Amino acid sequence: MRLILLIDMDYFFVACEELRHPEIKGKPVIVGFDPKEGRGRGVVSTCNYEARKFGIHSAMPISIAYRIKPDAIFLPIDYAYYEKVSKSVVELAKRYSQKCEQVSIDEVFLDVSEKIKDYDGASEYAKEIKRAISDELHLPCSIGVSVNKLLAKMACEAAKPNGIKLVKQEGAKAFLRDIPIGKLYGVGQKTEERLKAMGYKTIGDVADSNSSRLSQVFKNFGNEIYNSANGIDDSEIIENWEVKSIGRERTFEEDTAEKTQIEEKIKEVSKEVFEELKAQNFYFKTVTVKIRYSDFTEHLKSKSLLHPSNDLQTIIDTAIKLFEQSAEEGRKVRKIGVRTSTLSERKGQKKIFNS
Ligand code: TTP
Ligand code: MG
Ligand code: MG
C-alpha cells in the first residue's frame, strides 16, 4: 500500500505576512492588488479566515473585497518573500521523506510508504510534521493522508483549516461522493461547466457514470476524470526537480498597450522557449510571465500546472492568461518575458485535464 501526505499551508500569503507583522494577527487581512479605495483593479490573492468569514476569497475582485470590508488590512503581494518562506517549508518536509514533490508555492506531497506501514502510523507522522511546521516555522497548515496524490489532496481540503484528515482506500468512494464536481482535483472551471451541462453535480454522479460517455466529450481525459471521481490515481511523486529554468524575453520596438500586439509577442517568445525545451528534452510545470512597463517597473506572475507538460499551446495559453490577470489595462509595456521552470526529464507523467 502507498501512503501519501499532502501538506498545504493555511491562508499562505497572509500567514507569511502575519509572521513578520504579528500585530495584524486576529484581524481580517487581505493580500492582493491595491484596492485604491474601491477603484482598484485586480484580485484578491488570498485572505485569512477572519476575512473569509465575510465572504471574501481568493480571485475575488479587490474592489468587491474593499466594498465588503473597507476596514480590513490590505497588503500588497510580496512574492519573493513568500517564495523564501515556501523554501523553508519544503526543506522541513524533506526531512520527513526524500520522496517529496512541491506542487505549488504552498503545497508539498510526501510519499512515506517506505518508512510507514499503516494508516495509524501515517496519521501520527502527519501530526509530527504539523507540529514541526508550527514549532519551527510558526505557520499553520493542513495535511491530507491517503493512498494516492489525488485522495491526499482531497483529504487535505477537507481538513482545512489547521487539521489533519485520513482517507482510507476503503472509505474513498464514500468520502468523495457528495463533494461538488468542481472541487475534484484537476477539474478546472471549464471542465466543471461542461460536466454540469452533462448533468453531473457531485463527484459521485461522475463515479456512477461511465467512462465512455466522458471520453466522447473529453477525449483522453474522460477516462482520467472517471478514475479521479472513483479515487483512482497511480501518478507518482516526482522528486529532484531541476532547479533551472528556460526563459526568453523580448523588448518592443515601441512601448505598447495593444493587447493583440502583446499577445503576438508572447506567442513568439513562447515558441522560442518551447524549442529550447524540446532540444533539451524537458517537461515543465511552472510558467512565469514578466512584464516590464515603460517606467521600468516589473511585474511577475506564475502558474504551476498540476502535472508536467511539454506542450507549446500550454505555454502560450498559460502565459496569455497570466498576462491578462496581471497587466494593468492601458499601461504601456516595454518588454515581455516568458519562463518555464520546475523542469524534469521524466516522461509519461499524468497530464492535466484542463487548461
Ligand atoms: P491556496 O493553498 O489555494 O490558498 P491559501 O493557502 O491562501 O488558503 P487555504 O489553503 O488555507 O485554503 O493558495 C496558496 C497561495 O497561492 C495563496 O496564499 C495565495 C496564492 N493564490 C493566489 O494568488 N490566487 C489564487 O486564486 C489562489 C487560489 C491562491
Ligand atoms: Mg494553502
Ligand atoms: Mg495550496
Tell me how far CA of residue 323 lies from CA of 120, 136, 229, 289, in angstroms. 46, 37, 32, 7
Distance 295 CA to ligand 3 centre (A): 33
What are 117's three cell numbers? 506501514
Per-residue pLDDT tens over the stretch 231-285: 999 888 877 555 578 999 999 999 999 999 999 999 999 999 999 899 888 899 9
Provide the pLDDT for residue 242: 53
249 is catalytic: no
CB atoms within 10 A of CB 22: 10
pLDDT at 165 over 80: yes
> pLDDT digit string (tens) for 54-73?
999 999 999 999 999 999 99
CB atoms within 10 A of CB 117: 12
CA distances to 244, 270, 293, 338 from 263, in Å: 26, 10, 15, 12
The pLDDT of residue 93 is above 90: yes
Cα 106 to averaged position of ligand 3 atoms, centre (Å): 5
For the CA atoms of the chain, what is the radius of gyration? 21
Predicted local distance difference test score (pLDDT) of residue 241: 53
pLDDT in tens, 270-313: 999 999 899 888 899 999 999 988 887 788 888 989 889 999 99
The predicted-structure confidence for 111-162, as pLDDT tens digits, reads as follows 999 999 999 999 999 999 999 999 999 999 999 999 999 999 999 999 999 9
Cβ of 12 below 6 Å from ligand 1: yes
Please tell me the residue having the least CA distance from ligand 1 atom 23. 45
Residue-averaged pLDDT of the chain:
92
pLDDT of residue 348: 44
Is it the case that residue 343 has pLDDT exceeding 80? yes
Q: What are phi and psi of 75, to 5 degrees?
A: -125, 145
Quick check: CB of 17 below 6 Å from ligand 1?
A: no
**Is the separation of the CB atoms in 211 and 296 below 8 Å?**
no
pLDDT of residue 350: 42
pLDDT grade, residue 342 (50/70/90)?
A: confident
pLDDT of residue 45: 93
User: Could you tell me what percent of the chain has a pLDDT over 70?
Assistant: 96
pLDDT of residue 226: 96
The predicted model gives 6-35 an average pLDDT of 97
- What is the spatial distance between Cα 298 and Cα 336, in angstroms, rounded to a whole number? 10
Q: Look at residue 354 and tell me whether its pLDDT is greater than 60.
A: no
Ligand 1 centroid vs 126 CA: distance in angstroms? 21
- Give the closest residue (by CA) to ligand 1 atom 27: 58
Q: Is the CB of 62 under 6 A from ligand 1?
A: no
pLDDT value, residue 84:
94
The residue assigned the cell 484537476 is 186
The pLDDT of 160-172, averaged and rounded, is: 98
Burial class (CB in 10 A: 0-12, 13-18, 19+), 254: exposed
Percent of the chain with pLDDT over 90: 76
pLDDT of amino acid 188: 81
- Ligand 1 atom with minimal separation from the 44 CA: 24
**pLDDT for position 353:** 44
Tell me which of 98 and 199 has the higher pLDDT: 199
Asked if 247 and 340 touch (Cβ cutoff 8 Å), the reply is yes
Res. 167 pLDDT band, cuts 50 70 90 = very high
At 201, is the pLDDT very low, low, confident or very high (cuts 50, 70, 90)? very high
Side-chain half-sphere of 109: how many Cα atoms within 13 Å?
27
For residue 108, the ligand closest to its alpha carbon is 3
pLDDT: is 39 or 297 the higher one? 39
